[in-house]
């Protein structure tokens, strides 16, 4: 993120927000992935950032962090990261979809482009809540432009949210983009459209805090360490193994 137009100032703002949302005693650090696309709006861009994300999560565990949250709503590398880590690795999409599924009979996702709708539906299937998904609707505002005109973004998000409730019969909403979530408009939009709205960044944070407080992490039966790494192969060696 520090290499984008939003820069390190935005990283610091997000870190401050997360620490404000966190329970007393929790400390959140936003760590930049060293390489990858400026924004993620496709499966290809997700794939580009996975290797660096997974390695960074391994470094965070080695550095003593209690949990890691992937910084993209598409949860890129979530299963791979859980294979190499023993601490909780939280995907914002999975966390917010599981939360949204419990808030009503159906929920809708606000995403960026129509081209991303099928991907969001796939994520709902992977999370096991596809039958609770009312719709996925696009705002058609690129990720890197969401913050350039906040009032216009807010108006568009309200317009799309209202359509989800009125036309798709959604009982709850969630923001299918981390930048959208970090606009911190969930409470305002929920009050306007009359249904709960889930901020994916906050949902991921609260899931991480909950798991850590309960002494839980993902099952290594479900996400076993890759056999080559179990035998001692390093990240560098895995690239050519």
Per-residue pLDDT tens for 8-18?
A: 899 999 999 99
pLDDT value of residue 142: 86
Of the pLDDT bands very low, low, confident and very high (cuts 50, 70, 90), residue 4 is low
Assess whether pLDDT exceeds 60 at residue 41.
yes
pLDDT value of residue 126: 95
Question: What are the tens digits of pLDDT across the range 178-228?
Answer: 999 999 999 999 999 999 999 999 999 999 999 999 999 999 999 999 998
Question: What are the tens digits of pLDDT across the range 57-70?
Answer: 999 999 999 999 99
pLDDT value of residue 173: 97
pLDDT value of residue 42: 86
pLDDT value of residue 197: 98
Question: What are the tens digits of pLDDT across the range 141-158?
Answer: 888 888 888 889 999 999
Q: Give the pLDDT mean for 19-39.
A: 91
pLDDT value of residue 124: 96
Assess whether pLDDT exceeds 90 at residue 234.
no
What 3 state SS string does the chain have? CCCCCCHHHHHHHHHHHHHHHCCCCCCCCCCCCCCCCCCCCCHHHHHHHHHHHHHHHHHHHHCCCCCEECCCCCCCCHHHHHHHCCCCEECHHHHHHHHHHCCCCCEEEEECCHHHHHHHHHHHHHHCCHHHEEEEEECCCCHHHCCCCHHHHHHHHHHHHHHHHHHHCCCEEEECCHHHHCCCCHHHHHHHHCCCEECHHHHHHHHHHHHHHHCCCCCCCCCCCCHHHHCCCCHHHHCCC
């Amino acid at each position: 993120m520090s290499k984008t137009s939003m820069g390190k100032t935005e990283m610091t703002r997000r870190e401050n927000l997360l620490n404000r949302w966190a329970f007393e005693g929790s400390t959140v650090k936003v760590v930049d992935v060293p390489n990858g696309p400026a924004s993620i709006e496709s499966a290809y861009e997700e794939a580009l950032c996975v290797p660096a994300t997974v390695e960074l999560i391994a470094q965070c565990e080695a550095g003593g962090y209690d949990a890691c949250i992937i910084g993209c709503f598409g949860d890129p590398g979530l299963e791979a990261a859980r294979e190499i880590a023993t601490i909780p690795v939280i995907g914002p999409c999975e966390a917010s979809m599981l939360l949204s599924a419990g808030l009503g009979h159906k929920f809708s996702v606000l995403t960026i482009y129509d081209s991303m709708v099928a991907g969001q539906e796939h994520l709902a299937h992977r999370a096991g809540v596809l039958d609770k998904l009312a719709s996925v609707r696009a705002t058609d505002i690129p990720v890197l432009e969401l913050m350039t005109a906040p009032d216009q973004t807010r108006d568009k998000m309200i317009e799309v949210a209202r359509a989800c409730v009125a036309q798709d019969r959604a009982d709850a909403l969630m923001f299918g983009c981390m930048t959208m979530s970090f606009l911190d408009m969930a409470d305002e939009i929920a009050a306007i459209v009359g249904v709960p709205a889930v901020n994916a960044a906050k949902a991921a944070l609260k899931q991480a805090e909950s798991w850590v407080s309960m002494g839980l992490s993902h099952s290594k039966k479900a996400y076993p360490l890759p056999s080559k790494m179990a035998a001692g192969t390093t990240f560098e060696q895995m690239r050519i193994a």
